[in-house]
Structure 1
Amino acid sequence: MIYPSRRAVIVMAAGAPVALLAGVLTPAGWLAGPVWIAGLMLMVALDALMAGSRAGLQLNEPEPVRAAVGRPGLAGLTIRFTSSGRAPRQVEAALSGEGRLGLDHVPRHAEVVENSVALAFPFTPTRRGAASLDELWVRWRGPMGLAWKQKVFSLNLPAPVLTDLQWVRDEAVRLFARDAEFGTKTQLEIGEGSEFQALRDYQPGMDRRAIDWKQSARHSALMAKEFRTERNHNVIMALDCGRAACEPVGGMPRIDRFIHAGLLLSYACLRGGDRAGLFAFDSRPRVSTGALGGVDAFRTLQAVAGRIDYSAHETNYTLALATLSGQLKRRSLIVVFTDFTDPTAAELMLEALSPMLKRHLALFVVLRDDELESLAAAAPETAEDVARAVVAGTLLRERETVLGRLRRMGAHIVDAPADRVGPEVVNAYLDLKRRDLL
């Protein structure tokens, strides 16, 4: 496609009053208008001929696009002018793709270096799933800047949006970097917990409650019991993937933040010798792996987490918790990732939770809604601000009421900002393990 540039339109508009004045002053001056238009069109055509050839513009083989939900990325494409004609000094390009990719639609300007142009388009995916890059628009101006030349490339390049495993790896390295020091892992496993490990001579500074008086009398010396951290506990991540969990918070759906935090907790559990499992539910159970252990367990959990889809169904806590409780054959830590938006659903959840707490330990993970808190705390200036603040305050109070009832029932709560939920959940798990509650 070839079309005039803004400069050509401005030049034509600037010559119109002059041609009109010439036609008014002299009878032959009426020819000035057509001559001016024809001359300018000729200049535009000449400028287009002097620009790079559209047929000579080629797209190199694009590299696969790696996209992870919530993580900024770049889609890199390279084009080149292969004809012997004169290549432009600069091109303007735009890229289109599916909405879940979160492409930045601002046109990118790039310099032509040795007849080649490297283009980079930033994106921040907002949802997981199959996506693609559709079309690439490239245009450039002639030497005089009077004509645009444009070419469209049909890409149809797959760009699936996956779980952000890089975030999980980075957080795991940050949280457990201290274990790389010599001897730290042994010190963390031995000396804490309630499982008997061995007898050793009592040393000043040791807990006096660890002294075994019978063995001390037999050996005629103070002997103390040494304990180690218990292993092989069952930790089940129950992920609510219902309608409310698919709404965004902090620019990412809640369920994706739940998946990231659940995978990070799974890594911590498997690394500590415990067993981990995933259980996803909305109106009915969708995914259930059971408690897994071993070398390939985390890889299996990654694959299963990638199959958790977004849902438009309301969450059925009664069916989900009853099904999960029936699948577990031994006492387990059940980490429920959910949110409370409907008081009726929350009441049903509390009723279903009561029998489960008689056998299992529950840890509820909820995300703070910064937008809702800001609406409740904002200074009211109009009647609409007052209405929004009242509604937001009511929702927050209902949420606190549910959390308070959960605490009184014996459940543990993690109420964390969206960007800190992963580390907070791991810290809560380690705290429960240190207190021998598992």
Structure 2
Amino acid sequence: MIYPTRRAALIVAAGAPLALIAGSAMAPLWWLGVFWAAVMLLLMALDAMLGAARDRLSLDPVPPLSAAVARPGQIEFTARFAGAAPRSVEARLDAGARLGLAGGTMQAQVHDGVAEVVAAFTPQRRGIATLEALWLRWQGPLGLVWKQKTFALDFNLAVTTDLAWVREEAVRLFARNAMFGTKAQIEVGEGSEFHALRDFQPGMDRRAVDWKQSARHALLLAKEFRTDRNHNVVMALDCGRAMSEPLDGAPRIDRAINGALLLAHACLRSGDRAGFFAFDAAPRLSTGAVGGPNAFAVLQQMAGRIDYSAEETNYTLGLSVLAGELQRRSLIVVFTDFTDPTAAQLMIESVGRLARRHLLMFVVLRDEELEGMIAAEPLEPEDVARAVFAASLRRERDLVISRLRRLGVHIVETSADRIGPAVINSYLDLKRRDLL
């Protein structure tokens, strides 16, 4: 496709009033307008002939790509001109809204006939993002015409869970303790299973002293315990409508999946068993508690199957099915968000029954946008109404959290970017207190 540039259109438009003025002054000069337009058409035709040919432009195959929710990425396209080449090109990529392209038109300089076009993106949801077409256009040497060529891509890009974030957080949180992983003493720690007696050393906890055995042997002895292992830790993921809404650039459920995967890594690393359970209006996924060297890979694969939902969450059905599947006392970590008072009341009733046998921990994400509405300075009446409504939502949320705490549920309320360290610290604190 070849069409005029804005410069050419402005030049042609500028000749019209000049021809009108000349024709008004002297009638025989009316032909100046026609002459002006004809000259411009000839110049545009010349510009099109001198510019780089469209049939001599080729596009290299799209390289292998990876994309993760809320993680910025980029796609690099390499366009090659055979023969004459322009100084720069403009590009536009046609892709699905799921990919989250940043900006519209992209600019790229041409060096030695090669143009590197970079399209930045930040995916908003998991799934398949289709790259349909790439448009490239460039100007002739006179800047009067655009030449455009369209490349059909038909490329599918899978947007997955942000496993790179999980790996980075795992390295950051556990690398400083990695030196202890190769020592046999890792089996000894704060737990409930007695291991052995040993001589009391300075720095040891005085509560570990066995006074009866010390009196019998006339030597100060302390107890050692084996670190508790093989606990069941189940991550119950609410994937209903409220959890599918975005928070800080990514759906809440994706934030929850990242935190659940990081917690699963910590559980498996400490010798416990981990599992996933996803539910909305009905149970959608259940892996059971798994352990072993391949357990984390299995959980990664199963986490990718958790889909978004537009249905309301049925806590009664979901938690009842989960309770029926668990054959032993387990730590149940529920990733959810509650805004509807009726649904929250039903959830509290279900939690009360579940808490009689199992240990529960709820993970809720703090809504920074809601907090901003409350703290914003009111400048208009709408700001006051917005702040009052936001404060009522937070008040209802705090009421539900306080009722859960009275039932013995442990609450982790954190921001989206701190969900990983927050849930791991709470998990380790429960193990340290021997509550599992």
TM-score tier, shorter chain, comes to over 0.9
For structure 1, the 5+ residue unaligned runs are: none
Equivalent in the alignment of 1:343: 341
Amino acid at match of 1:417: S
How far does residue 97 in structure 1 lie from its aligned partner after superposition?
Answer: 0.4
Equivalent in the alignment of 2:81: 81
Find 2:369's aligned residue among 358, 368, 371: 371
Larger mean CA deviation between 387-396 and 371-380 belongs to 371-380
Distance 1:65 1:169 in 2: 19
Give secondary structure in 2 for the equivalent of 1:130: strand
Are the counterparts in 1 of residues 180 and 186 from structure 2 also a CA contact under 8 Å? no
Equivalent in the alignment of 2:70: 70
Equivalent in the alignment of 1:360: 358
**1:24-63 → structure 2 map (5 Å cutoff):** 24-63=24-63
Amino acid at match of 2:173: L
**1:105-120 → structure 2 map (5 Å cutoff):** 105-120=103-118
Amino acid at match of 2:179: E
Are the counterparts in 2 of residues 65 and 158 from structure 1 also a CA contact under 8 Å? no
How far does residue 218 in structure 1 lie from its aligned partner after superposition?
Answer: 4.0
How far does residue 199 in structure 1 lie from its aligned partner after superposition?
Answer: 1.3
**1:194-343 → structure 2 map (5 Å cutoff):** 194-343=192-341
Amino acid at match of 1:151: K
Distance 1:218 1:262 in 2: 49
Give secondary structure in 1 for the equivalent of 2:195: strand
Are the counterparts in 2 of residues 96 and 105 from structure 1 also a CA contact under 8 Å? no
How far does residue 20 in structure 1 lie from its aligned partner after superposition?
Answer: 2.0
Distance 1:314 1:283 in 2: 6
Distance 2:363 2:186 in 1: 26
Larger mean CA deviation between 257-266 and 25-34 belongs to 25-34
Amino acid at match of 1:361: L
Distance 1:433 1:150 in 2: 64
Aligned residues: 436
Amino acid at match of 1:313: E
Distance 1:384 1:217 in 2: 75
How far does residue 76 in structure 1 lie from its aligned partner after superposition?
Answer: 1.1
How far does residue 191 in structure 1 lie from its aligned partner after superposition?
Answer: 3.5
Larger mean CA deviation between 256-265 and 24-33 belongs to 24-33
For structure 2, the 5+ residue unaligned runs are: none
Larger mean CA deviation between 190-199 and 114-123 belongs to 190-199
How far does residue 209 in structure 1 lie from its aligned partner after superposition?
Answer: 2.5
Distance 1:364 1:279 in 2: 14
Are the counterparts in 2 of residues 104 and 121 from structure 1 also a CA contact under 8 Å? yes
How far does residue 221 in structure 1 lie from its aligned partner after superposition?
Answer: 1.8
Distance 1:331 1:396 in 2: 33
Give secondary structure in 1 for the equivalent of 2:384: helix
Are the counterparts in 2 of residues 238 and 335 from structure 1 also a CA contact under 8 Å? yes
Distance 1:257 1:311 in 2: 15
Distance 1:330 1:130 in 2: 39
CA deviation map 1:307-345 (0-9, x unaligned): 000001110000111111111111100000001111000
Distance 1:250 1:110 in 2: 30
Distance 1:384 1:17 in 2: 50
Amino acid at match of 1:133: L
Distance 2:320 2:224 in 1: 39
Distance 1:154 1:191 in 2: 61
Measured on the aligned residues, the alpha-carbon RMSD in Å equals 1.4
Equivalent in the alignment of 2:424: 426
Identity of aligned residues (%): 62
Give secondary structure in 2 for the equivalent of 1:40: helix
Are the counterparts in 1 of residues 239 and 307 from structure 2 also a CA contact under 8 Å? yes
